[in-house]
Structure formats: C-alpha cells, structure tokens
A and B are shown apart, each in its own frame.
Chain A
Amino acid sequence: MTTMTDPPQASFRLSQLIYDTRYRSYTFQFIALMLLIALMAYLGANLVTNLAEQGQNISFGFLAEPSGYDINQRPIEYDSQSTHLRASIVGVLNTLIVAFLGCLTATILGVVAGVLRLSPNWLVRKLMAGYVEAFRNVPVLIWILIIFTIMTAVLPAPNAFRGDDSESSMLFGSFAFTNRGVYTPAPIWGPGSLVVVLTFLASIFGAIYYRRYATKLLYDTGKLLPMGWPSLVILFVPSILVYFVMGQPISLDYPALAGFNFQGGLHIRGSLIALWFALAIYTGAFIAENVRAGIMAVSRGQTEAAASLGMRPNRIMNLVILPQALRVIIPPLISQYLNLTKNSSLAIAVGYMDVTGTLGGITLNQTGRAIECVLLLMLFYLTISLAISAVMNVYNKSITLKER
C-alpha cells in the first residue's frame, strides 16, 4: 500500500515575487499600475497647480457663450451671436459634408484607377501607375495647397465675366469658375415639389423590386426578363409625369453677375473644393491599390473556370471576380474612409471651417480654453473612429467564409 503525502508546504518568500513565474506577472502588473497611477497623479497635480497659478479652471460653460465670429459656410442657421456650441456643431456638419463628398469621389476614382491598372492597355496601365505613385508619395497637405492655389490664384475674378466679349465665360451659361468659388445652378423647391421627390423615392424602390422579381423569375422558371431599360423607365417616367402634372414645381436658380460678384445659384467655396478634391484624389490613389490587390487576390483559376463555363468577360467580372474581390477590398476601403475623415482636419490650412477650424481654431483662440477644446475635438474624432471600427467588425463577421 502506498501512501500519499502532501509535498512539504514551502513557506512564501518575498523573492518569489520576482523569481517565481507564478507570481511574477502579478508583480509586474502591480508595478505597471503603480507607475500609471503615479504618472496620472503627477500630471494631474501639475495641471491643478498650473491652472491655479493662471487663475483658470476646467469648465465647459464657454460653450453657452456667444461666439462672436462668422462662419462662411453654414449648413444650419448661424450668426456671430450664436453660441460656441452651435459654432462647433456647424463645424462638425462641415466636417461630415467634406468627408462624405470626399469618400464618394475617392471611391469612384479609386475603383476606376484600380481596374484600369490591370487593363491590357499598356499606356493606360502606366498612366494609372503614375497617378497612384505621384499621389501616394507626396503629402496630402501639399496637394490641398496646390488645388487651393488653382482655386484662388489661377481662376479669373468675377469681373472677368463682365460684358459681351469678356475674358471668361460661364460653362453652358450656368457654371462659373471664379477665384471666389464655383457658382452652379441651385434647385428651387416650389410648392408641390415634395410630391415629385416622394414619387422619385418610390420609383427607386420600384426599380429595385422589379430587378429582384426578374432575378427570382430567372432562377425559378428560367424566363429572362430584360433588366436595363425597364428599370430606367420605372426610375424616371413616373417622376417626370408627376413633375409636369404638378405644374413644374422645381426650377433652377441660375447664378448671374450682379455688382462685383455672382448672385444666386449654389456657391461652392474654393476651400471646400480644394479640400474635397485633394482628399479624394489622394485617398483615391490608396483605394486604387486596394482594389488592384483585391482583384489580384482572386486566383486566376476562377477566371479560367468561369470562362470555360462559357461566360462573357463582363459576366465573369460581375458574377465571379467582384463578389470574391469585395471581401478583400472592403475592410481596407473602410479604413481609408476613416483616414480621409481624419485628414479632413487639414481644412485648417485652407480656412475651411470644419470642426478643427471652429472648435480647435477660433473658439480655442478666443476663449483660451485649450484643454477643453482639444479634449472635445479628440472625443469627436474618437467617436467617429470607434463607430466605424464597430461597423467594420460587424461586417467582417458577416462576410467571414463559413467553412465546414
């Protein structure tokens, strides 16, 4: 019979905290935590001393005070009597506007350039490679400044459009490119225009439904309905009919030279255009590389297999390559959107009033509340980043290959 005896219970020695792997990690974590707390306490104490010395405090009350400055691009009602909070909201909206426009344009540019980089045409391939390399390797700030220079120093002044044989003339009689910005026709929403808009929205849904129905019919019965022209008819004919039935409620307001400047129409400032185009072209170069990598990641065998089934080239692209490539393309694409949004903070270099220009620029300088302003600014960008990464995680989960 064997007897089990407990191993001799070693008494705990202090040196085990360092030498024994069981306890060592606790020691390190404890030290790390202590160092962190000490650092925080040190910085906090310095902050309190410094603020007390300058007779300041941390307070967000300044947000409710009148701002006292004007913003040239106002998506919502705002004047210099409005509060700093409202100025920040205007800035946030301006950031979102340029980010949205930039992402949209960058995607189009990037997809076109990325696909063309794989084209069989040598000249086009090299041209696109040149575009991608030129824009990826030069700071976006320089591109913003270059386009801003074109917008302000190269384009003609409004009075160059004066007279019958003027130096400059408007494009199609409705677009004016001046050094004070671009003037385009703006829609005027008359009474009854809501009906037209609603009809158009309804026809979008109608077109989508028709396409789904046609696909289902094809899969169920093999009967092939035409897709192209019926969707166009559904999309546009009802809206046009309603437009005339309602008595043409939507009209265009054309810009016209009045006094020293253009009046009427939609005025897009040079700063917005510089920021928008520079960000779009710069990010587009990165997206082009992602698109190219995504398409090349689909193995050649897939193309050949599809071709051997007798598919035509555009069907191969739409039905075989793209669905597989999108899985690779979309995650880096979204992080490019995020980069574009963060880079839009460079607006401050051309005087576009985004949130960095209002909250982090004029409000900060006027109130002197550096800590609060920078903190709010960081929180805003952090929120956007975290929200987009959350969306991306959900998306990544949904497209992960379901393997057996």
Chain B
Amino acid sequence: MSKDNIAFHRTHMLPEAPPPATETGAIKWLRENLFSSVANGLLTVVAGYLLLSLVISAGPWFLNGIWDSPSLTACREMLDGRTGACFAVLTERWNQLLFGFKYPDELYWRPTLAFVLLFVAIAPVLFVKFLPHQLLIFTGLYPFIAYWLIWGGSIIVPVMALLGVLFGVLVYRRTLTVSAGVAVLAGIVGAMVFWWIAGFVTGSAAGFLALEPVASRDMGGFMVNLMLGVVCVSLSLPFGIMLALGRQSDMPIIKWICVVFIEFIRGVPLITLLFVANVVLAYFLPPGTTFDLILRVIIMITMFASAYIAEVIRGGLAALPRGQYEAADSLGLDYAQSMQFIILPQALKISIPGIVNVAVGLFKDTTLVSVISMFDIVGMIRGPILASAEWNGVYWELFGFAALLFFITCYGISQYSQWLERQLQTDHR
C-alpha cells in the first residue's frame, strides 16, 4: 500500500484557527447565561421586559425630579404636567427627617459630631487586625461622649458614670481570685454604690461645663433609629452572652430563669413589648417616678434583642465539640477562664452571622416605635411631614428615601459580616 492509493492526505499542519464566533466573547456568554434553552430564552425575554418597563416608567420620574421647591403645589407647577418626582421635600425637610422636628436648629452639630465619632469609635472594633489597639480606649469612652453631646447637660454626669464603671471593674478585678460569679456581683454592686454616692455630687454641680440640655422627647428622625439600634445592639450583646451561658448552666434555678425569660420574649411580638414600655411599665415603678419614654423603649428593645442573641450564641456554644470543654477543664482552668480563653472566642466566631442577622433585624424593628407615637423617621414621615399643608400627598419620595437609608445601612452591615467571616476563617479549605 503506497501513498498514491490514498485519495487525499495532508502534508502540512493547519494554522491555528480562532474558535467559532458563537463560542467566544459576548455571544458565548449570552448563549450560556441567557439563552441556553427555549424555556430560558422565554424567561430572559419576560425578565428583560419587566426590567425595561420598570426603567421606562421610573426613569423620567427620576430625571425630571424637582430638587428645589417650597411645597407640593409649587413643585407640580414647575413640572407642568410632566411626570416627575418632588425630591424637594427631602431637601426642604432634610433636618426634620434626620433630627426630628423639635431638636433645636443651632444644636444640629452635636448629633452630627456624635454620628461622625461613632465611626471613629466603631472602627477599631470592626477592623481589629488593622488598627492599633490603643484606639479601643476611645471606643470605651465613646458612649459617655455621645451621651453628653446628644443630651447635653453638665459633663459631670457622664464623667461620674464613667468613673462608676471603672470603679466596678476595679472591684471585679480585685475579687476575681475568689470566683467569677462573686466578682461580677461585687463589681455591679460596687458601681451601683459609686453612682449612688455620685448622685449627690452631680446634683450640686449641674452647671459645670454644661452643654445646653435637650430632652429626649425632642429627638426624632433617623437619629432615633440609629440611637436605638446602636445602643440596644451593644447592650444586648453582654446580656445575650450571660443569658446563653445561664441557659447552658448546670444550676437548675439559674437555667430555668434564663429559659423562661428567653422563651417568653421570643414568643411575643416587639409591638406588645413596646406597649409595655408605653403604658404598663409605669405601674411597676415607684409612684412618682418619671421615666423617659426613650429610656423605657431602650430597656424593652434591649431585653428583646438579648433573648434573640442568647439563642444565637447558644447555637454557637452547642456547635463547639465537647472536647474543647474537656480540654479547658483538663488544663485546670476554672469556669471563667475556660469561657474567656477557650469557649467564648470560638463560640462567638461561629455565631457572627447569626448575631449580625439579629442586629440587622433589630435595626429594622426600631421603626416600630412610630406605632407608640415616637417620631422616628417613619413617625416623622407619617406625622408632621405628610400632615403638613405643603407636603400632603408626597409618598414615594419620602418612603423611598427612608427605605434607601435602611437599605444602605443593613446591606452594608451584612456585607461587613461576610468579610469578617472570611477574615476569621482559620480552618484550612
């Protein structure tokens, strides 16, 4: 058999050809991701149509938006029959949306400063690995600074509160050798005694280095949502940890107190707890006590959030292998030490996604205070702004703005938590 018998054979290599046009670049992507089958093609067309009609209907509304106008009627005149938004309500009522309608105008810088400082204070906690630990001192001081800035009054009050906390910590440190439980009790009692004594001092020095005081009923707008969210989440973390440890404890009485508390709080809606804060709590306090509504609400929301965080942390504690507890015991660590150095760091790490979920949910739930006639951002929109003669009838701009504020905050928090999870990942994948 010789080569001549074969009709055709190739004598040289073909040059490399580019892949067919349908298998490269944008076309390939379209084929694979949008039109991989008939059903998928139909789905794409339907989804694309929906998206397009949304853009077509909302586009002019955004683009024709009026940003500067004193009232809705003036805004409608400017639009002259075209579809368009009246974003002017946002610019005109900007301060009301953020600070409420009673906070004194000339003092807006104080909550704004507190808000900016919040980021400074929270950064060393959020980015522990990247910022020097000394900044955490500022984080510790921040609650007292923020209180002073937002509520005003003499600087003696927050300073004394701070000293009380420091005194309590000192007592705790000194008694820690006896037992952790005793030390916690002693620390709390120590701080209480200090505050009780300090009460005599603050009363007499009310004017010392005082900022103009602002009553909490004068606060409103998004500021209230942020305040409630930040305060309640940070307070509920330690309480939640304590409740979770209590529920896991071997002591039946303590365990049952925690179980009943957690299950009761988780079983009722937040609104009923806010009703308690609004109308019932006063019955359980000594006659004649006047108690800020905002403080009562903070107490109830903190209780609410603690119960949920306790359940999340309990999940984290239960997910730890039994060996970790036994290893801590076999090292001779006592309960407090084993919790502090072995168990809680791991359990909290596992619980981060859950804790963030609770925090986001809680922040969203702060809008419920509008139901008990507090003027948070939703309360402001429904009350003073929509009821005013100028802006009666502007719905989309206002609700859309509130929704946007919450979306940015909550989405940001959940993105941060995903980043943190990746940072803390120590296992080998």
Which A residues, 115 to 139, have Cβ-Cβ distances below 8 Å to chain B? 119-124, 127, 133-134, 136-139
Name the one of B253, B272, B368, B403 contacting A33, with C-beta atoms under 8 angstroms: B253
Q: Is the CB of B264 within 8 A of A382?
A: yes
Q: Is the CB of A120 within 8 A of B33?
A: yes
**Taking the complex as formed, is B388 at the interface, i.e. its CB lies under 8 A from any CB of chain A?**
no
Which B residues, 140 to 190, have Cβ-Cβ distances below 8 Å to chain A? 178-179, 181-182, 185
Main secondary structure of the interface of B (DSSP, over half): helix
Q: Is the CB of A141 within 8 A of B283?
A: no
Q: Is the CB of A385 within 8 A of B267?
A: yes
Interface size class of B (residues with CB under 8 A): 35 or more
* Contact of A127 with B51 at beta-carbon distance under 8 Å, contacts A139-B367, A346-B371 already known: yes
Q: Is the CB of A31 within 8 A of B406?
A: no
**Taking the complex as formed, is A166 at the interface, i.e. its CB lies under 8 A from any CB of chain B?**
no
**Taking the complex as formed, is B70 at the interface, i.e. its CB lies under 8 A from any CB of chain A?**
no
Q: How far is the CA of A120 from the CA of B51 in the complex (A)?
A: 18
**Taking the complex as formed, is B341 at the interface, i.e. its CB lies under 8 A from any CB of chain A?**
no
Cβ contacts A262-277/B at 8 Å (1 or 0 each): 0000000000000000
Give the distance to chain B from A290, nearest Cβ to Cβ, in Å: 12
* Contact of A360 with B411 at beta-carbon distance under 8 Å, contacts A50-B283, A119-B43, A349-B371 already known: no
Q: Is the CB of B272 within 8 A of A360?
A: yes
Q: Is the CB of B185 within 8 A of A31?
A: yes
Give the distance to chain B from A87, nearest Cβ to Cβ, in Å: 17
Inter-chain contacts of A50 with B (CB < 8 A): 282-284, 287
Q: How far is the CA of A46 from the CA of B291 in the complex (A)?
A: 15
Q: Is the CB of A345 within 8 A of B395?
A: no
Q: How far is the CA of A73 from the CA of B47 in the complex (A)?
A: 37
Q: Is the CB of A32 within 8 A of B395?
A: no
* Contact of A138 with B407 at beta-carbon distance under 8 Å, contacts A50-B283, A382-B267 already known: yes
Which A residues, 352 to 404, have Cβ-Cβ distances below 8 Å to chain B? 356, 360, 364, 370-371, 374, 377-378, 381-382, 385-386
* Contact of A53 with B287 at beta-carbon distance under 8 Å, contacts A139-B364, A356-B271 already known: yes
Give the distance to chain B from A27, nearest Cβ to Cβ, in Å: 9
* Contact of A153 with B393 at beta-carbon distance under 8 Å, contacts A50-B287, A371-B283 already known: yes
Inter-chain contacts of A149 with B (CB < 8 A): 395-396, 399
Q: How far is the CA of A33 from the CA of B43 in the complex (A)?
A: 63
**Taking the complex as formed, is B276 at the interface, i.e. its CB lies under 8 A from any CB of chain A?**
yes
**Taking the complex as formed, is A302 at the interface, i.e. its CB lies under 8 A from any CB of chain B?**
no
Instruction: Name, among B283, B284, B393, B403, the residue most crowded by chain A CB atoms within 10 Å (CB to CB).
Output: B283
Q: How far is the CA of A139 from the CA of B366 in the complex (A)?
A: 9
**Taking the complex as formed, is A242 at the interface, i.e. its CB lies under 8 A from any CB of chain B?**
no
Q: How far is the CA of A343 from the CA of B367 in the complex (A)?
A: 13
> What residue of chain A has the Cβ atom nearest to residue B178's Cβ?
A18
Inter-chain contacts of A24 with B (CB < 8 A): 179, 181
Q: Is the CB of B34 within 8 A of A342?
A: no
Chain A residue total in the interface (Cβ 8 A): 55
Q: Is the CB of A46 within 8 A of B253?
A: no
Name the one of B179, B254, B275 contacting A374, with C-beta atoms under 8 angstroms: B275
Give the distance to chain B from A275, nearest Cβ to Cβ, in Å: 13
Q: How far is the CA of A122 from the CA of B269 in the complex (A)?
A: 38
**Taking the complex as formed, is B402 at the interface, i.e. its CB lies under 8 A from any CB of chain A?**
yes
Q: Is the CB of A137 within 8 A of B360?
A: yes
Which B residues, 272 to 301, have Cβ-Cβ distances below 8 Å to chain A? 272, 275-276, 279-280, 282-287
Give the distance to chain A from B356, nearest Cβ to Cβ, in Å: 12
Q: Is the CB of A32 within 8 A of B283?
A: no
Q: Is the CB of A123 within 8 A of B410?
A: no
Inter-chain contacts of B263 with A (CB < 8 A): 386
**Taking the complex as formed, is B60 at the interface, i.e. its CB lies under 8 A from any CB of chain A?**
no
**Taking the complex as formed, is B251 at the interface, i.e. its CB lies under 8 A from any CB of chain A?**
yes
* Contact of A343 with B280 at beta-carbon distance under 8 Å, contacts A18-B182, A121-B43 already known: no
**Taking the complex as formed, is B28 at the interface, i.e. its CB lies under 8 A from any CB of chain A?**
no
Q: How far is the CA of A138 from the CA of B414 in the complex (A)?
A: 13
**Taking the complex as formed, is B266 at the interface, i.e. its CB lies under 8 A from any CB of chain A?**
yes
Q: How far is the CA of A50 from the CA of B365 in the complex (A)?
A: 31
**Taking the complex as formed, is A245 at the interface, i.e. its CB lies under 8 A from any CB of chain B?**
no
4 other contacts beyond A120-B40, A374-B272, A377-B272, with CB at 8 A cut-off? A25-B251, A46-B284, A139-B367, A141-B367
What are 26 A-to-B residue pairs whose CB atoms are below 8 Å?
Answer: A18-B179, A24-B179, A28-B181, A29-B251, A32-B253, A46-B283, A46-B287, A121-B44, A127-B50, A137-B407, A139-B367, A142-B403, A145-B378, A146-B399, A348-B271, A364-B275, A370-B279, A370-B283, A374-B280, A377-B268, A377-B275, A378-B272, A381-B272, A382-B264, A382-B267, A382-B268
List residues of B whose CB falls within 8 A of some A CB. 32-34, 36, 40, 43-44, 47-48, 50-51, 178-179, 181-182, 185, 250-254, 257, 263-264, 266-272, 275-276, 279-280, 282-287, 360, 364-365, 367-368, 370-371, 378, 382, 393, 395-396, 399, 402-403, 406-407, 410-411, 414
The 3 tightest CB contacts between A and B, nearest first, are A385-B267, A122-B33, A137-B410
List residues of A whose CB falls within 8 A of some B CB. 18-19, 24-25, 28-29, 31-33, 36, 43, 46-47, 49-51, 53, 119-124, 127, 133-134, 136-142, 145-146, 149, 153, 342-343, 345-346, 348-349, 356, 360, 364, 370-371, 374, 377-378, 381-382, 385-386
